Each structure stands twice: as structure tokens, then as C-alpha cells.
Chains A and B, each alone.
Chain A
Amino acid sequence: MIRRLWALSRKELRQLFASPIAYVVLTVYVALTGIYFFQHLVSYNQLLFVYQSEGMTGGGFDQGTVPTRINVLNEVFVPSADDFGLFLLVVLPLVTMRVFAEERANGTDELLLTSGLRPYEVALAKHGVTYGFVMLLLLGSAIYPAVVVMRASLGMEHLAALYLGQLFYGCAVASIGLACSAFTSSQIVAAVLGYAIPFVLLDFAWLSNTVSEGVAALLREVALLSHYGSFARGVIELRNVVYFAGIIGLGWLVSVASLELSRAR
């Protein structure tokens, strides 16, 4: 089974990196994260300057004029993590849209399913390769934050928590996109659904005023963002890990179901 999975994964990898879309997505993501991280850093530098200037004009003792809550963590990392999450949501459907839909449109899915591979193996290989690509995206975007973490003594453990959160979040978004791709032969439909579902799932705060407290609480538990924030703060909570693992698992299961249904049809 491992050999079959490896062969299928290699084929997927070749397909992914033979087309320019993977490079475009990597480029866009790395550029967007770099630009936004830079913007947050510049704003932070300006904020520091304002605080320090006020201290100087006050003529008194300068220490304490920059409150400790104004720091790289609060002003750069947490807002950047929110941005990075949104960018993942923007770029990942572009990668996931083709994974199953292309096979279905070309008719190669039938070849795959009659080649002795089981649907769950096909789904496992395709999901695995896509998650690997998510890791690659995150790796490209981690250089800038890693430099700042080292210089600001923020702690590499904290950075690891932040990126673990992004990895979970990215894999969950990719898993939804892959599930959408598995149910259609149109890449456009897969992309639109791959955008729409995570986008709607992102945060249900917009509904909180129109539904009862209980429903609002339930929706908050379903929302992606409410499980993502604590990673950026350096805390890994079991419930958040379970939530993302659940979405990833369900996405894979839906993909398997779709392949099984195709075979049955």
C-alpha cells in the first residue's frame, strides 16, 4: 500500500509542479505575506517612534513611555497571523480546484479507480500532497517572521505554535477545497465552492445579533477563526487541534465518499 501511495503521490507532485499554477500560488502567497508583514512592521516602528517622541518632548524620564503591551507580538505577529490566514483562504482553492475535478473532466478518475487503487488510497495521496504544498507555502512565508522572532527574543516555540496553527488552518481549508473538487468535474465550480464554504465558515459573528445566544455560541464553535486565534498567541489548545483535525478528517472522508459514489454510478 505504501508503494502505491508513494507512486500516486509522485504523480500528483509532478502534476502540481509541472503546471505554473503552483508557482503562481507560491509567489502570490509569499509576496502577500511579505508585504503585509512588512506593513505591520513599519506601522509598529512608527508607533514606537510616536511613543518615544512623546517621551522625549515630555522632558522627563523616557522609560515606560512605550508600554509593554506595545510589542512585536501584539502589534506584528497576531495581526499578521490573521492576515496570513485570510491569504491561505485566497490562494488554496486555486490549488485544490484541479486535484479531483481535473481527473474527472479528463476521465482519468475511472482509470485510477480501476487500476487496483482503493478510493481511500487515492484520496489519501491527493490530500497528502496538497497538505505538503500547504507546508511549502508556510515555509516560504516563515522566513520573515523567523528573523523577527530571533531578534525580538519572542521564542521559537511561540513561532512553532503560530505555524502549527497555520498548518492546521491551511490543511482544513485545503481539505474543504479538495472535498468540493471531488464532487465536480468543473474546476471553476470547485474553486467557487472552495472559496465560498471556508469564507462562510470563517466567522459567524455577523449572525450573532440575529440569532439566539445558544445558536450564536454554537456557530462560534463551528467558525474557523475562533479556533485559530490562540495559536497566534502561542497556546495550543486540544479543542482547537481536535476541531481542525475533525475538519481535515471529514474532508478526506467526503472525498472518499465522492470517489465511491463515482464508482457506484
Chain B
Amino acid sequence: MTFLPAAGVVMILVGVASYYATRSLHGMSAFSGLNVALGALLLLLGGLAQARRFRGFSGAESRRVVLRWVAILAAAVAAVIGVDVWARALTARVDLTVDRQYTLSPETLQLCHELEAKGGPPVELVFFEDSLLAKDVRLLVEAYGAACKRLEVRDASRRAPPQAARDLYTTTATAVIACRSDACDPVGYPSERNITNALARFTRERAIRIYFTVGHGEIDLAGESDTGYSGVAALLRDEGFDPQAFVSPAAAEVPADADVLVVAAPERDLMPEELAMLDRYLGRGGRMLVLADAGQRSNFYSEFLARWGFTLDDAVVLDRASSPLLKDPKPVNLLVHQFAPYNPVTRNLSPRTMLLLPRARPVELGRKPMPDDKLDRAALASPRSWLSHDVAAALANGEPPPDSTEPQEIALIATGRYPRGKSEEDSSKEARIVVIGDRDFASNRLLDALYNRDVFLNAVRWLGNDETRIALSDKAWTPDQDPLTLQQTVAYFYFLAFALPEGLLLLGIFAWWRQRT
């Protein structure tokens, strides 16, 4: 190799290497660019200087061979490009991730069909690969592009995004933005659940309206403290719901546009007129989510819920296997892992996906108001749990477990369906109630704990007739986040980074020695 091409190759290598080393600081530096350009020039000059060596191919036979091989190579390159273009159009892939993370769920595909059926302007998914959240967004977004005909996928680094998407983009919080015409909606963490929810917001004619009753010591929807529910309010808005407060003592009827009414742990009695209003609401196919808590006494629990088939004993559920996570030694912080698999509120949950319900109260099924009504238990406390009727003492000091070891079945979440003379197909007119024997599980402090959020969302979705999305939760697989202790890591390191290479090197020395002798 003569000097010119060798120098050219070295300069190109240095130029590209300096680019890789400094690209996080700035793009292509002048140093890198100059090296690459000069290197290419030297390589070209060297190549021209070497051209005379091809004189060796000046014979007719040689020329024929050269031409034949140039043609074969050109045809091979063209074939590779052709197959590549075909493979690109095919978008065929095998997803070998544990939870098939890049394979869209049937619910998402259903939504794609809905988008297609409804027509209108196409929806666009704009994704930004320079976002901090965008580690694996391309694969997921491309899966949407391949599955949804009414969906266009735009890589913002290749094609400038719409102005509305650019306005919403921040490198730390957004990786994907869904747009339709001029309206854009940022997707939070780019998971299938979040992207599909963003698309669902474009298909829905209006947001599902959820009213929260106030006036009886219920939860504070705007409260930002640990016990407040501002997290729930934000979550509901993100998921396409419209949460509103409802001052029931001042109202004659539940608003007609209420899709769901939440009665979240009233601490005082409701007026008889209010109870009658709630009866009328359910009687015309209303939907109600009830949160109750241990130690609360209200005629809402003892009279109203009893009328609709639920018995909320004035007790607190205790369990030996209480969660130590709240740093509370008392056995009141229940880890719940027994679920009815076909109940819509707990459909996604399994013994591996637990709930944390502190200070929960039992929710038992009473007498059905009508024979056709359907009452079900959705979640049970562990068989080793027990009830304490001295709620104040149990909450303050805990309580030793009873001597009896008989397994108990104590329900903590229950659901009711009340068809009132409507056809079975018209499920939108069926009254529904979900009773959860805890109010703290969805407070700001615990909403994101374990699968609490999923249960809350499942409940409001089922009540709000948004059932298809219940099945769509984030892929449940979570890798063991702590697979090796530091000691184990170091032990493996000694073997793999020292002992194994050492053995290989000794083998090499042996081979060299044998070759010499």
C-alpha cells in the first residue's frame, strides 16, 4: 500500500472516531469533517495512482473475466437492494421479548379497525428518537404503522413534524405525539397502553364524565397531600375521562350527563332525599363506584348499599402477612392477591400482581334486590386474614390474630349488575355498582403502588362502558430488577473477565510454543 491511500484511510478513521467520541457534545466538528474530507481526497488520489496496476488485466481473457465479475457483482447488489426493499415493505418480524412487547394487543387492533371504520382525517403518530424516553419507541410505533391503515407514522428526525407537535415536544417528557388535523396529544411514557389511549381519545365523541359527590366528608379530588386524590384526577384526565365534583346535598337529581358517579368514602349520613336521588339514578341505569373505609359510619353504607345487595360490616380486615412496605407494624396494610379472574374489575390481576389496601373494610354480598341482579365478589383478602370489630383499637395498636386457624373468605371488592327490565343486549342501560372496601389505595401516596391504579381504572372503565380498554394494561412482565447481588456480580466477573481469558491466553501460548518446536 502506498503512502497516499494509507494516509487517507487513517485520516478517515480518525475523523469518524473523533465524531463518535464527541457526538454527544456537538455534531460533526470541523476537526472530524476535515479529516474525513482530506482522507477521502487522499484515498481518491491514491486510487488513481494505483490504477496503473490494472494493466495486469489488459489481456482479452482477463478483461472478459473482469467484465463478467463486475456484471455479477452489480447484479448481486441490485438483487440485495431489491430483496431489501421487498422485506421493508413486508414489515415481517418475530417478537421474542418475554411479554411480546412489540406485538400489538387485540384491543389495539380493534381500535385500528374503529379508526378505519369512522373515517375522517388520518391520525399521525409523530415520534422523536432524541427523546430521553425513546429507547425503544421506533419498534413499537412501526408496529402501529403496520397494523393501522388509518395511521401514519412520522419520524421527526426524517420529516419535519407539524407545528402543534413541535410545540408539545420536550426531550424529557415526550417521545410520541398523536395528531389528527391540527389537534395533537402527547403520549406519556411510550407504551402500547399510552399510545392506544391517545388514539382512543381521537375516536371518542366525548369524554366519559365522572362525578365525585362532595359534602359528606368524601375524598378531596383536588387535594395534593398524600391522602388527596389529585393523582386520580390527573390520571382520569390523561386517560380521557372528565372528572367533576357533584354537590349532592344541593342537587335534585344526578346530572343527566353523568356516565359514572363516584361516592368516595362519605363520613357522614346522607339526607334521605339524597339517598332517594341516588336510588333514582341507579334505577334509570346509572353507574356508581363506591369507596368505603374502615371506621366510617354513614347511612349510605348501612341503608343505601344494603338495599342494593352489599353488606359493609363495621370492621377492619387484618392479616398476618400485612405489607411491611408502609413501615407500619400493624397488620392493617393488606396485600391482596386473590382475584376473580372473569370479573371485569380484576380481569388483568393475578397472584403476581397484587394490590395494597390499607385499613380496608369487608364488602360482603347481601340479598339481591331482584332475582335477575348479579352480585359478585372480585377480590378477597388472604385466607389467613381476620376481622376486628374494635376498629379504633385495631387501627391504633393492631391486634393479635385469633386462635382459630380456620381459613376465612373476606371480600374486599364486589360488583353488582342490575338489569331493570331492559334487554340484555343493551348493557348501557344496566345499572352497575362497584364497591371497594378501601379509600386509601387510590390516594396520591398509593395510587401507583403495585396494581392499585389498574383496579381503579378498570372499575371506572367498566362502569363507563369502556370495557374493551380494561384488557389493555401495560404489559405485565417486569424483569427482576435486582438479578445479581454485587457479590455475585463480582464472582462472575472474576471467572469471565479474568479466569476464562487467562485460560484462553495460556492455550494461545501453548499453540505458539508447539508451532515453534
Contact = CB atoms under 8 A, between A and B. Distances in A.
Interface residues of B, number: 89
A151 B483 contact: yes
B515 interface: yes
Given A61-B325, A153-B98, A206-B32, A238 B501 contact: no
B495 to A, nearest CB: 8
Nearest to B8: A196
B69 A260 contact: yes
B69 A257 contact: yes
Given A18-B515, A154-B479, A158-B97, A74 B497 contact: no
Given A19-B515, A63-B325, A199-B16, A26 B479 contact: no
Interface stretch (A3-11, A103-111, A121-129, A228-236): A228-236
Contacts, number: 246
A68 interface: yes
A205 B24 CA distance: 12
Contact of B92 (A151, A196, A237): A237
B333 to A, nearest CB: 9
Contact of A66 (B481, B502, B505, B512): B481
A173 B17 CA distance: 17
Contacts of A72: 479-481, 483
B508 A71 contact: no
Interface string B478-503: 11111110100100110011101110
B6 interface: yes
Interface stretch (B192-200, B238-246, B442-450): B442-450
Contact of B501 (A19, A30, A200, A221): A30
A217 B505 contact: no
Contacts of B505: 23-24, 27
Nearest 9 A/B pairs, CB to CB: A23-B508, A34-B497, A246-B80, A152-B483, A234-B97, A151-B483, A264-B65, A34-B496, A155-B98
Given A18-B515, A23-B511, A72-B481, A158 B12 contact: no
Given A20-B512, A238-B87, A233 B139 contact: yes
A60 to B, nearest CB: 6
B60 to A, nearest CB: 10
B486 A45 contact: yes
A165 B194 CA distance: 29
Contact of B94 (A45, A236, A242, A257): A236
B83 A246 contact: yes
B504 A26 contact: yes
Nearest to A86: B20
Contacts of A216: 158
B247 interface: no
20 contacts: A20-B508, A20-B509, A23-B504, A26-B504, A27-B501, A37-B496, A38-B492, A61-B325, A69-B135, A74-B135, A157-B96, A199-B13, A202-B16, A234-B98, A234-B102, A235-B97, A236-B93, A238-B91, A264-B61, A265-B62
B80 A250 contact: yes
Q: Is the interface of A mostly helix, strand, loop or mixed?
A: helix
A178 B398 CA distance: 74
B508 A24 contact: yes
B493 A34 contact: yes
A147 interface: yes
Given A23-B508, A72-B483, A192-B9, A233 B136 contact: yes
B425 interface: no
B98 A22 contact: no
A121 B502 CA distance: 36
A181 to B, nearest CB: 13
Interface in B61-115: 61-62, 64-66, 69, 72-73, 76-77, 80, 83-84, 87-88, 90-98, 101-102
B27 interface: yes
Given A38-B496, A235-B96, A235-B139, 19 more contacts: A18-B515, A45-B486, A60-B226, A60-B445, A62-B325, A66-B481, A72-B479, A148-B484, A151-B480, A153-B477, A186-B1, A206-B19, A208-B157, A235-B95, A236-B96, A238-B87, A250-B76, A260-B69, A264-B61
